[in-house]
Structure formats: C-alpha cells, structure tokens
Amino acid sequence: QKEVEQDPGPLSVPEGAIVSLNCTYSNSAFQYFMWYRQYSRKGPELLMYTYSSGNKEDGRFTAQVDKSSKYISLFIRDSQPSDSATYLCAMSRGGAQKLVFGQGTRLTINP
Amino acid sequence: DVKVTQSSRYLVKRTGEKVFLECVQDMDHENMFWYRQDPGLGLRLIYFSYDVKMKEKGDIPEGYSVSREKKERFSLILESASTNQTSMYLCASLWWGAPPGELFFGEGSRLTVL
C-alpha cells in the first residue's frame, strides 16, 4: 500500500465549477501537508501549505486537512481555464527529505 | 524570486552513456534535491544535499550519483545510463529555515535513454 494515494484523474470540469481534489494517507505521523501545481512541461510550484489539521484559504483555493480520517483536500472555487494543470499533494512528518508525494491529478477546466 | 535552473531541458542518450544533469539555484539555499517523476509514481527522491560536499541517499539512489562542489550547483550523474532511467528529472532547493514542503523546483530535464 502506498503511503499517499491520489486519484490520477483525469478530471475535466466546466469553467466556474467548484473542484475538489483529494488525497488519502496511511502514516499518522505526517504533520505537514502541501499542494503543488504543475503546468505542462514545467516544474511543480507550491500552491498551499498547511501544518497539522484545519483549513487554510488563499483566494479561490482552500486546503483542508482531516487527520482523524487521514484525508486532505484542495478546493478550487470559480475555476478558470488557467487552473488546468496537474495537482500534486505532498506530506511530511518532518524534514524535506521525508516528503512523500501523491501521483498527481490532472485537471482540465473547459471554457 | 527564487530561480532554479536546469540547463538541459531535453536529452536523448544511448544505453551505457554517462549523463550529467546540472542544476543551479540563485537564492543561496542550503538544501538541494534531485527527484524523478514517472506517470503513476509521482515524485521520488533520488539524492539530496544539505551543504557543500554533503549528500544523502533518497529513496531510489541506485544507478545515480551526485556532486555538490559549490553551494549553488547540484549535479546528478548517471554513470551508465539504462533504458529504465528514462524519466523526467526535477531539481529543487529549500532554505534551511523554511517548512519542509517549501521546495522551489526547476522546470525539469526530460531524459530519454535508447
């Protein structure tokens, strides 16, 4: 069983829709939770970062961590074609060398 | 803005060739990383370095070596390339005081081994 599971998609939604991206994990020691966005033929860029449980909001993006269920989510409101990318979840129990990535979900927002 | 530059974006090499992948960062970050990215497998850590001349193995170091002679430069070396090393290679850097996930990535080097 992988430590981090992420549905690879692809996921295709119309512009303006609310998008929900999810990851589940098995290691209860994870404390740091990240979402990266990766455009085609580019490197990943950090989108959201959360420590421990709870929600974090940044503009149209909300990251949610539920440690009791070992489940993290990224919500995108009012989705735009420019949000089309692969979204990778990542988590760590401490130390960047211990970062574990999900497989990535490919998202397409259709105008 | 932090810039991580991978000099070779696309490479095609033959089995058995020695391959060098170069990475340079311009923000004086102590930590640098090499990952490979494969469909369905996500990113997997090959090696990382927390200081000049210091290196640590990641999850999949077999078939790879690294060099860090200067703080800003971290090189990945494939001593004898094999077809199963065809992949996207991503370099990243991290400031020592930052949370573990605040990596800055380069644009990637796509290597094909024939």
Match 């990475």 to its residue by tokens: B23
CB contact under 8 A, B105 and A4: no
- Indicate yes or no: CB of A49 within 8 angstroms of CB of B41: no
Q: Map residue B50 onto helix, strand or coil.
A: strand
Q: Which residues of chain B neighbour A102 with C-beta distances below 8 Å?
A: 42
CA of B58 to nearest chain A CA: how many angstroms apart? 7
pLDDT number for residue B46: 97
**pLDDT (tens place) for every residue of chain B, 114 residues total:** 669 999 889 999 999 999 999 999 998 899 999 999 998 888 999 999 999 989 999 999 999 999 999 999 999 999 999 999 999 999 999 887 777 778 999 999 999 999
The upper half-sphere exposure of residue A63, i.e. CA atoms within 13 Å in the direction of its Cβ, equals 23
B48 near B59, Cβ under 8 Å?
Answer: no
Q: What is the DSSP string of A45-100?
A: EEEEEEESSEEEEETTEEEEEETTTTEEEEEESS--GGG-EEEEEEEESSSGGG-E
Query: What mean pLDDT, rounded, does chain A reach?
Result: 92
The 10s digit of each residue's pLDDT in A12-65 is: 999 999 999 999 999 999 999 999 999 999 999 999 988 888 899 999 999 999
The first and second tokens of residue A109, run together, are: 């927002």
Tens digit of each residue's pLDDT (9 = 90 or more) over A52-100: 888 999 999 999 999 999 999 999 999 999 999 999 999 988 777 778 9
Could you tell me whether strands B10-13 and B109-113 are parallel, antiparallel, or unpaired per DSSP bridges?
Answer: parallel
pLDDT score at B2:
64
Residue A24 dihedral angles phi and psi, to the nearest 5°: -115, 155
Distance CA A62, CA A49 (A): 10
pLDDT of residue B76: 97
CA angle B105, B110, B114 (to 5 degrees): 155
Contact between residue B63 and residue B79 where contact means Cβ atoms under 8 Å apart: yes
The two structure tokens encoding residue A13: 């939604």
pLDDT at A76: 97
CA dihedral B47, A22, B98, B68 (to 10 degrees): 10
**Tokens 């703080």 — which residue?**
B71
* Least CB–CB distance from A92: residue in B42, B101, B108: B101
